[in-house]
Amino acid sequence: MITYDKLYIGGSWTAPSNPELRDIDSPHDRSVIGRAAQAAPRDVDRAVAAARTAFDEGPWPHTSPAERIAVIRRLDALREERAAEIAALISAENGSAGWFTRAGQPGLSRQAAAFLKAAEGFGWEETLEASDPQAPFRSVVRREPVGVIAAVIPWNSPFSAALAKLIPALLAGNAVVLKTSPENSLSMGLLAELLDAPGLPQGVVSVLPADRETSEYLVSHPDVDKIAFTGSTRAGRRIGSIAGEQLKRVSLELGGKSAAVILEDADLATVIQGLTYASLLNNGESCIAQTRVLAPRARYEEVVTALKEMIESLKVGDPSEEDTFIGPMIRPDQQQRVRDYIELGIKEGARLVTGGPQIPPGLEGGNYVTPTLFADVDNSMRIAQEEIFGPVLVVIAYDDEDDAVRIANDSEYGLSGGVWSADQEHALAVARRVRTGTVTVNGAPIGFDGPFGGFKASGIGREYGAVGLSQYVEHKTITL
């Protein structure tokens, strides 16, 4: 059993203000797999004070970009050395299938590489000549760190979410208080161990697993300069209101209900193979999952039948087993939430093609749900409009291409989506019409050099690459 009985505050392992440890339960069988200290407001005060001092008085904001890049390179190398351990630990505490957590490790390397490339070419300081050649002045434009960052992340993909904020914030010279979900206390404890090694000055980083109340205390703290949040749209609205009241900088990566637009000429075998991952990755507990499948009426039943066969072929079970594709939901309440949505879909009149609210046989001791497919779904139904965050897909028929785009855009969300076609240029033309932050064509992976984030209720701001790095700087103009 893994135990973290201290909190990582400002670069030191420190006794928590509340000595009671939280049990970390396995989603697979609900056994206790670890215990960890949890942060309370007094711990937040200590972490923010350490960050404030490190930023206002310490060397970190004044180091050169090259020095900060070297630290992040060392951090990424340390993470790579423990990649297998990280993957196994996330599977144990999250219930994420091993194939997913293992596949995510090279993705973390690509994410870091994109940020490092962006930092090397970033215009940290530039000189602008006056547009009028007769004007007797020039301007020096500097990109400087924002200050103390409150980075708040969800439980579903903890390392990816944490590093998407930590790396650019640190590259820019900020100090960071990372608030993690209690469910991830073990993997985020391991992250804190990594952060202890690459040469960060005291106070620059704290890692605090804590509940929602403590999270709100952190983002409301007067010494926090910027909030970087990933999580639900409901929580994002609350955080946005706090940021607005206090005029804090804020970036929000929120929920999604992404559409997979299958065009009439699409190769169905390619579509189904791609949607296996694009729709059901991480047990469906993914904000970018393409869970609204839009199919042309002429091929509707063909698509439904192929999806049914695919879903029924996937093994549901112990996430540590090699052939498991879908593991358990993270908590019993999340399990019940997904099952309630399945019941709702039946009541709304959708056709239950496969799955249902029953727990898979033999897995009653864990947080499992049966992967479910609904057909004859109208886009106005709640199962088509609300983020379920589980392995539940809906298939919606469309009449023509304009109708498909209209349905895809008929959502409060706009985070991700996909277009599937035998003609890539045609797919690109359709993708340009979909109002969402990221669109993939024929299952292409989301890259880390381009910006990632949401339209509409899916968020504010962007992550990844140079645009993601720019979210953690202020622009200063000095006129000479």
Q: pLDDT (tens digit, 9 = 90+) per residue, 115-134?
A: 999 999 999 999 998 888 88
Q: 170: domain range? A: 2-254+457-479
The predicted-structure confidence for 332-360, as pLDDT tens digits, reads as follows 999 999 999 999 999 999 999 999 999 99
Indicate whether 144 and 275 sit together in one domain: no
pLDDT band at 378 (very low <50, low <70, confident <90, very high): very high
Residue 141's pLDDT band (boundaries 50, 70, 90)?
very high
Q: Are residues 399 and 361 in the same domain?
A: yes
Structural domain contains residue 452: no
Task: Please state the rounded mean pLDDT for residues 314-323.
Answer: 97
pLDDT value of position 380: 98
pLDDT at 198: 86
- Residue 391 Ramachandran class (φ > 0 left, ψ -120 to 50 alpha, else beta): beta
Residues 9 and 104 in one domain: yes
* Domain CATH code at residue 229: 3.40.605.10
For residue 444, pLDDT over 80 is answered with yes
Query: Tell me, what CATH number does 312's domain have?
Result: 3.40.309.10
List all residues 6 or more positions away from 252 whose beta carbon is below 8 Å from its beta carbon: 229, 230, 236, 239, 240, 459, 460, 461
Q: What is the pLDDT of residue 450?
A: 96
pLDDT given at position 90: 98
- Over 80: is that where the pLDDT of 67 sits? yes
At 200 the pLDDT is 96
In angstroms, the CA 140 to CA 216 distance is 38
Contacts of 330 (CB under 8 A, 6+ apart): 27, 94, 95, 155, 156, 183, 285, 367
Catalytic site residue from 93, 216, 253, 285: 253
Residue 162 has pLDDT above 90, yes or no: yes
Q: pLDDT at position 7, please?
A: 98
Whether residue 51 lies inside any domain: the answer is: yes
Residue among 93, 183, 285, 287 flagged as catalytic: 287
pLDDT at residue 459 in the model = 97
**Is the pLDDT confidence value at 135 over 80?**
no
Residues in contact with 436: Cβ distance below 8 Å, sequence separation at least 6, in sequence order: 258, 259, 408, 413, 414, 415, 416, 417, 454, 455, 458
Asked if residues 68 and 38 have their Cβ atoms less than 8 Å apart, the reply is no
Residue 133 confidence (pLDDT): 80
Q: What is the pLDDT of residue 102?
A: 97
Distance in angstroms between the alpha carbons of the first and the last residue of the chain: 62
Average pLDDT over residues 395-407: 98
Write out pLDDT tens, residues 252-269: 999 999 999 999 999 999
Measure the CA angle with vertex 49, ends 46 and 51; round to 5°.
110
Are 176 and 314 within one domain? no
Q: Give the mean model confidence (pLDDT) for residues 143-169.
A: 98
All residues at 6 or more sequence positions from 221 whose CB lies less than 8 Å from its CB, including other chains: 44, 45, 48, 150
Residues 311 and 220 in one domain: no
pLDDT over 90 (residue 183): yes
Round the average pLDDT of the chain to a whole number and report it. Answer: 97
Taking a C-beta distance cutoff of 8 angstroms, is the pair 394, 387 a contact?
no
Do 379 and 420 sit in the same domain of this protein? yes
Which long-range contacts (C-beta less than 8 Å, at least 24 apart) are formed by 319-324?
Answer: 319/27, 319/28, 319/91, 319/92, 319/95, 319/96, 319/97, 319/98, 320/28, 320/88, 320/91, 320/92, 320/98, 321/98, 322/98, 322/99, 324/97, 324/98, 324/99
Residues 157 and 294 in one domain: no
The H or E element that residue 372 is part of is strand 370-375
Over residues 368-393, mean pLDDT: 98
- Both 189 and 57 in one domain: the answer is yes
- pLDDT attached to residue 197: 86
Predicted structure pTM score? 0.96
253 is catalytic: yes
Instruction: Give, in degrees to the nearest 5, the angle at Cα 178 between 173 and 179.
Output: 160
- In the chain, pLDDT over 90 holds for what percent of residues? 97
What are the backbone dihedrals phi and psi of residue 228, each rounded to the nearest 5 degrees, phi first? -120, 115
For the chain, the maximum distance between any two Cα atoms, rounded to a whole number of angstroms, is 81
Query: Same domain, yes or no, for 209 and 108?
Result: yes
Q: d(Cα 352, Cα 349) in Å, to the nearest integer?
A: 9
The rounded distance, in Å, linking the Cα atoms of 62 and 291 is 46
Q: What is the pLDDT of residues 223-241, one digit of tens each?
A: 999 999 999 999 999 999 9
31 and 6 together in one domain: yes
| Same domain flag for 181 and 266 | no
Our count of domains for the chain comes to: 2
Same domain as 294, residue 170: no
C-alpha triplet 334, 227, 291: angle, nearest 5°: 35
Element (H, E) at 273: helix 268-278
- DSSP states along 138-181: EEEEEEEE-SEEEEE--SSSHHHHHHHHHHHHHHTT-EEEEEE-
Please name which of 257, 255, 265 lies closest in space to residue 292, comparing C-alpha atoms.
Answer: 257
* Domain assignment present for 97: yes
